[in-house]
Chain A
Amino acid sequence: MKRKSMEEYFFKILMVVSILIVLGGILSVIFTVVLKGVSALSLSMLIESPHGGYYLGGGGGILNAILGSLYLACGAIILSITLSLPVAMSLHQSTMKSRYVEYIRTSLDIACGIPTIIYGAVVFTIMVFIGARSSLFWGMITVAIFILPIMIRSIDEIMLQTPKKIKIAAFALGSTRTEMLSVVVKQSFPGIVTAILLAFGRGIGDAASILFTAGYSDSLPTSLFEPVATLPLAILFQISSPYPVVQQRAYASGLILLVIVLTASIASRVLSKKFMKYVVK
């Protein structure tokens, strides 16, 4: 008898300790970036480009990277959503199970699992092969490609939750498959918004994919076909600098990135609630 309750007590402690360690870790990561970042954050970091010698301790900011990342991520998301939505819809055109649809889902799942560094490496290989230079354009393409399977499957999962009766209702009224699918999209809309915003968060924070495809630049992004600075790489370069002043700025840059990602996450929750109005439970 006693052994049972001792065992229970022991494992309960283990569980609480585990969750505390996990929570401690989460809070540690967030607070480190926030606290260290805030102390190094200044207005000029946000509104100026790096001056000459910025990485040696000189003045300026990372506006180039902030804008670069925002343009890149937005462009990638726009490219991706124009393809993800039709693909996700095509997986739902029938009410029947289909082996072909399962094949597509499986290949997309595999693509989701491929590390982003490999996406970067492959796109870079193609770029070298056709003689292209790294630029905002190629950065957008790389991010769009790795985000694509993720976004398709997220939207697909949302659509899987559509009650079958809605599809039947649409068909019974004489809808074509495409018309039925637009009803499914209406029903899935809050989930689609969430998928887009979360994909934005992933895309803007990823460094491995754009390491060699987007290049880097100290000037503000002006052209699609010029190398562009990005926040993750700005952080990487600043933390690698031997000058402590510059290293501190890496944390400030990290804070900026964190704020952007958190904003996207919060926006996804808020917006998806707003769009829940007409969704049938």
Chain B
Amino acid sequence: MDPLKDDPYFDIRNFSLSINKSKILKNITVKIPQNRITVIIGPSGCGKSTLLNSMNRLIDLSEDLETSGSILLKGYDIFDPMVDITELRRKVGSISQTPNPLPMSIFDNVAYGLKIHGIQDKAITMSTVESCLNKVGLWEEVKMRLDAPASTLSIGQQQRLCIARALAVEPEALLCDEATSALDPISAHQIESELLLLKNNYTIVFVTHILRQAKRLADYVVFVYLGEIVEYGPADTFFTEPKDPRTKAYIEGTFG
């Protein structure tokens, strides 16, 4: 439990959220440790993605949003009005369930983040793009056609491209919302391997409804049910000795 006590990356305190007057998250209190993979599990529609999207304030794009409580990123409340959202989102990258390449070439997709955050130098851009594509194992596959439209890649490649794109701006955290659900098993496996390598340098929060995936990836597990945190803790004890009966039922497949 040590990494949780000292210096969590996200410290979420009594965070509630409603959209269009309906409450989606209720009094969420949880700590997300640095440089580990924290997996959020739970049945569909219970608020996992909403919680995830709150951590980089992509949730701001929703209708009629009301929040209370706070989400602290290394001590600073990300909902503070003085916060620069573009910088927050640079620090906290996000990967969606279905790959969303931008309407540009493979190279430009990865370079996009650099461009908007002010990096003009061509040499730096080139080397960053190459190293990020390498980190996701795409470089060898695409280096001969960096100009090709990103939409010509296979779905698995596109998703890895999205990860490379997120890495290019040197984030501190990566939020993954069911990032492998839309992929074939081989691509899914590739991405899981990459995440396991990346976790040493990035705080990764991964939402999934596949328990086996959670077991493969997690250092810490958070169980969200009906908008509330039911239980959270280190992965080994979580799966073997769940404390809450609901957790036990979910893990055993009784519901969800």
Looking at the complex, which one of B61, B105, B149 makes contact with A171 (CB distance below 8 Å)? B61
* B63 pairs with A97, CB closer than 8 A: yes
Q: Which of B56, B62, B102, B150 contacts A183 (CB 8 A)?
A: B102
A75-127 contacts to B, CB under 8 A, are: 94-97
Interface string of A156-184 (1 = CB under 8 A from B): 00000001011011111111100100010
Interface size on A, residues (CB 8 A): 25
Indicate if the CB atoms of B104 and A186 lie closer than 8 Å.
yes
Instruction: Tell me whether B187 is interfacial, beta carbon within 8 Å.
Output: no
Q: Is the CB of A268 closer than 8 A to any CB of chain B?
A: no
Decide if A176 touches B86 in the complex (CB within 8 Å): yes
Are B116 and A278 in touch, CB under 8 angstroms? Answer: no
Whether A278 contacts B89 by the Cβ 8 Å rule is no
Complex CA–CA separation, A172 to B150 (angstroms): 18
Residues of A within 8 A of B151 (CB): 278-281
**Do the beta carbons of A174 and B169 come within 8 Å of each other?**
yes
Tell me, yes or no, whether B244 is within 8 Å of chain A by CB.
no
Q: Does B216 contact A (CB under 8 A)?
A: no
Cross-chain contact of A280 among B101, B165, B166 (Cβ < 8 A): B101
Question: By the criterion CB–CB under 8 Å, are A173 and B116 in contact?
Answer: yes
Q: Which residues of B contact A169 (CB under 8 A)?
A: 96, 100-102, 162
Who on chain A is nearest to B65 by CB?
A: A96
B61 touches A186 (CB 8 A): no
Is A2's CB within 8 Å of the partner chain B? no
Question: Is the CB–CB distance between A278 and B90 below 8 Å?
Answer: no
| Chain A residues in 8 Å Cβ range of B104 | 186, 278
Q: Is B89 a contact partner of A168 (Cβ separation < 8 A)?
A: no
Min CB gap B108→A, angstroms: 8
Complex Cα distance, B62 from A281, in Å, reads 24
Interface status of A142 (Cβ within 8 A of chain B): no
Chain B residues closer than 8 Å to A247, beta-carbon distance:
none
Taking Cβ atoms with an 8 Å cutoff, the residues of A that contact B are 94-97, 163, 165-166, 168-176, 179, 183, 186-187, 277-281
Beyond the given pairs A168-B96, A172-B166, 15 more chain A to chain B contacts, judged by CB atoms under 8 angstroms and listed by A's residue number, are A163-B100, A165-B100, A169-B96, A169-B100, A169-B101, A169-B102, A169-B162, A172-B56, A174-B85, A174-B89, A174-B169, A277-B149, A278-B151, A279-B149, A279-B151
